[in-house]
Amino acid sequence: MKRWFLLVLLAALILRLVGISSRPLWYDEAFSVLFAEKGPQAMLAGTLGTASTADGQLSTVSAGAASEEHPLLYYTLLWLWMKIFGQAPAAVRALSVLFGLATIALVFALGRTLFEDKTAVLMAALVALAPFQVHYAQEVRMYAALATFITAAGLALWRGMHGGSWLWWLIFAVMAALAQYTHSIAVIYLVLLALTPLLARRWKAALAAGLASLFALFLYLPWLAQLPSQLAKIQAGYWMQPASPGNLVTALLSYVTNLPLPSTWLPAGLFVTLIIVALAAWQTWRAWRDSRHASQSTDGESSCSNVMHGLWLAYLAFAPLLALYLVSQVQPVFVERALLPAGVFFWMWVAWSLMRTNMPRPVMAAALGAVLVGAGMGLIQHTTYMGFPYAPYAALGDSLAQRLDLGEVIVHSNKISMLPSVYTHRDLVQRYVADPDSSGSDTLGIATQHTLGLLADGSIQAAANQAQGVWFIIFDRAEAEYLSAGYTAHPHLEWLNDHYRLLDREQWGDLKVYHYREK
């Protein structure tokens, strides 16, 4: 079975290398590179700083914008990684690939601990194939690392609960602290993990879990002291809306097919998702029912143990989703990518339902077919999708560098296209306009802008700066949002049309480029 696992790991690596160089870095990824390259001291200033610490040069930008809100472990690892491997797209994404493979190895280890090798291999295979997992194992963000640390914490907790030495509780504490230093949303997973011994009524293990959690909290103290101010920044300037019941559906779609999907594929994606969830849930109920009837027989204890293990995986797949939804009713923080660790446990639960619940062979064939269809849809979409927020930033930058005349400026409508363009062309002078105060979308705060050395202009007038010509870059989506709100044109374009003469308009993927000259 180890040979089969190695084949799964090789297949996972191949899937995670497809398109790793060809797909352009989008805003979040470019931010990660540009921020991490500044080093730990500058990142601390950019994360913990506030509007009041910035100098007068930055006063044109909204004071309500939040600084970078994530802890700095991933960025620090990326900083070290880039010192060794450089900043090419494949190089910076390879760190997440490594975390993605580590998660699959941990899934196999946890599967062997809970069940047997055959089930463990299927669990690893389903996680390896899941488009959601493939996607974020290719992004220059912290979510693949979060999935690794949470899965490792789950393995350590289980081993500690079931007769493991104190070393497993120490590993749980360390993994819990690392997860918290990776993403603040880790607290939801860790609380649910720590509750496992209580739910299982294993009081000695509950005490050990409590002590390990306290030690993890002690390790997290340096950042915990900053958490209130970080939460206040999120409340002041975070871009999200409160979660709706629809987010629960999109989360399940993310687990199975990943998002976005083409609109014509959505019904099929939803159908496949519901089939997989329904079949796994039905088998879980049947296994639980049968285990109760078998509790008096000689193999009853084994049957009950098998079902409890499966229920634990279901708990870790769905409880974080519901918890994040409930938290988001108070503070909107619901993003599907933060559920990447729950997606790992989801596929472990599905694999258990296929292998350990006496699923009838025709039903198993249907379930596996649904899994393959969902994975195929998601992987095809992931490898071919080049819509928002992706764009051919490198080619556009090359073109502008050749055509930019003396006295002209390049202006981005906002940071979403600015940062990826800066990543591809460091020597090309470019400017961007701050998000409006009322947009609720500006999480690139003043202190963070100062660390990046990329200061937003407060208006299109300031960005144009009386230049003889303007190359204005804007996403189609930004224009469409204003048009759908009843505006006749995007305000930036309206001002440029009033003060300049439009020479040309070009389409670069989902980006429009307007070339203006003075009247």
What DSSP letter does each residue of 408-442 carry, written as one string? EEEEESSHHHHHHHHHH-TTS-EEEBPPPGGGS--
Q: Report angle CA 77, 83, 87 to the nearest 5 degrees.
A: 90
Phi, psi of 502 (to 5 degrees): -75, 125
Joined together, the tokens standing for residue 127 give 């996680």
CB 127 within 8 A of CB 172: no
Tell me what pLDDT residue 56 has.
40
CB 210 within 8 A of CB 194: yes
Tell me what pLDDT residue 61 has.
39
Joined together, the tokens standing for residue 209 give 């879990």
Alpha-carbon gap, residue 106 to 94, rounded angstroms: 18
Asked if the 393-518 domain carries CATH number 3.40.50, the reply is: yes
| Of 475, 326, 401, the residue nearest 26 (C-alpha) | 475
Amino acid, res. 149: F
Phi, psi of 470 (to 5 degrees): -135, 130
Tell me what pLDDT residue 57 has.
41
- 378's enclosing H/E stretch is helix 361-384
| Of 382, 387, 389, the residue nearest 418 (C-alpha) | 389
Alpha-carbon gap, residue 443 to 44, rounded angstroms: 16
Secondary structure string (H, E, C) spanning 150-192: HHHHHHHHHHHHCCCCHHHHHHHHHHHHHHHHHCCCHHHHHHH
Tell me what pLDDT residue 60 has.
39
For tokens 């009524």, the residue is 201
- pLDDT-flagged residues of the chain (< 50): 52-65
Alpha-carbon gap, residue 89 to 183, rounded angstroms: 23
